[in-house]
Chain A
């Protein structure tokens, strides 16, 4: 915290004096802050407004701040639209989000623990082989990965959407760093009680690391839910579209009414807003710990 001890008379980090000039600057800063808040919230408001409007109200040239006729029926209309596999897309996204996140954390945490705690002669070589993959920019690998997944016959399947994304070198790296700093005393105690590596990990280490797991889980889930390029590459058939691919396809194919599309956007944002409401502390921790959104 940059709170300055007032008794020392030291200035604020961004100092502001008691002069008129200082006061003007302070007012200007608050104005800037409020303009920024409005600009940042406006897109969310537009989604809500359009999702609850009629099509003709959205496309009417006389722009209004509030919907002229509140249309709660849009949500029913969206899920009843036979041209739009909305329920299926949501299901796919949920499966990818939950299984993808759980699988990635399970694999990476075990790998990280093994690297950090189980003595093995070649552990450092294994670690370098994992870190080397961090040098490869993620998105560039979509063509190579597509080649492997299509040879496995996994195009347009949930397997193809999930399994290739489970092995995050970055997550394994973070877990290793974390477990290296994990207090050894707890593990020693478990050892004395006769627990093996497995028991120690599951019964002592994981339960005592839940905040760290939560931070990575929140980031990973959001990343999976919002991922677009890989699902687009794999989802060659509409039965395997995720919600992101579905929305993107509707807008380019013009097969959906604009109010339905905005309702779809609202529905797709909802789970993330909930995660934000409950896990924001962990999210911010995760961002500052990892400094990367992957």
Chain B
């Protein structure tokens, strides 16, 4: 290695001819940027620039335009935080999270335990539960909307109800009682349980068998006791990952709400609402940007808070 200070970047042509001969720090700097540069440039244009632009726009009035016109200070933020629709979309999300996060956690762990203990055809069972993760939310929503939870007589659920002499239900449009939660929650469960199951199986397989042997020697009863005092604590890191990933994904729920019930005011998560105001009939990009940034800050805070509570990485990985 030579110890010369790096000169200005070499022009391209000479770099190509002298590629083999460029040695030392200057050469490394050039090569570093040849490898990392294209990616960084793209990241600047498509990650940093949008965020900065959005931040600027959020302080302006911007209808149907991406160039700010009238400065309104924190007006857009105040509007969004007092906007009944935006607040109710956060409420919808909260309810959604209350349903989906615990259910996903318990059911994906149950599937992992079930699959992990079978001795025959384990790969088959794992594949079956993992297969839906390849489906898109659009596809699953269409199956749910047009086949399983169709509000008319030929829908599968209504057919089953009919066998018991119960009248069919308009699953996606009944607000009282709010039946629409059943299709909305089950569609996501079907799509994502296999993914979290895989994470749990990986976690289960990292637990050392000697722990169970030690527990057995100490007289712990196999079953609930070993599960409660060994399996669960050992799965701590995986559990935290599952909870956080699941919550962040739920915050960004869009596809199934949009495709199952559309942009309706009784069940509209934040992204569907923001999509409606910023890219609908009036492109209100000022308010849309403010709302997106508020949402981003909420998600980051929740993630950090969860990290603080559960302490990422403290548990043995």
The residues of A with any CB-CB pair to B shorter than 8 Å are 1-5, 8-17, 25, 29, 32-33, 36-37, 39-41, 43-44, 46-47, 50, 58-61, 63, 107-108, 110-111, 113-115, 118-121, 123, 126, 129-130, 133, 135-148, 150-151, 163-164, 166-167, 169, 172, 194, 196-198, 201, 222, 225-229, 232-233, 244, 247-248, 251-252, 258, 261-262, 265, 268-269, 272-273, 275-276, 280, 283-284, 287-288, 291-293
Contact = CB atoms under 8 A, between A and B. Distances in A.
Interface stretch (B83-91, B95-103, B249-257, B308-316): B249-257
- Does more than half of chain A's interface fall in helix, strand or loop, or is it mixed? helix
Contact of A251 (B50, B146, B202): B146
B20 A291 contact: no
Contacts of B292: 140-144
B202 A144 contact: no
A161 to B, nearest CB: 13
B39 A108 contact: yes
Contacts of B19: 196, 198
A150 B36 CA distance: 27
5 contacts: A29-B114, A123-B32, A126-B40, A137-B300, A273-B131
Nearest to B57: A147
A4 B46 CA distance: 51
Contact of A15 (B34, B111, B127, B221): B221
A62 B161 CA distance: 13
B190 to A, nearest CB: 7
B267 interface: no
B305 interface: no
A150 B66 contact: yes
Q: Which 9 A-B pairs have the closest CB atoms?
A: A15-B222, A114-B35, A144-B50, A226-B136, A144-B54, A139-B252, A111-B39, A11-B222, A167-B42
B153 A163 contact: no
Interface in B26-53: 28-29, 31-36, 38-40, 42-43, 45-51, 53
Given A115-B36, A247-B139, A2 B116 contact: yes
B134 A222 contact: yes
Interface in B255-299: 255, 258-259, 262, 271, 274-275, 278-279, 285, 288-289, 292-293, 295-296, 299
A265 to B, nearest CB: 5
Nearest to B145: A251
B212 A11 contact: yes
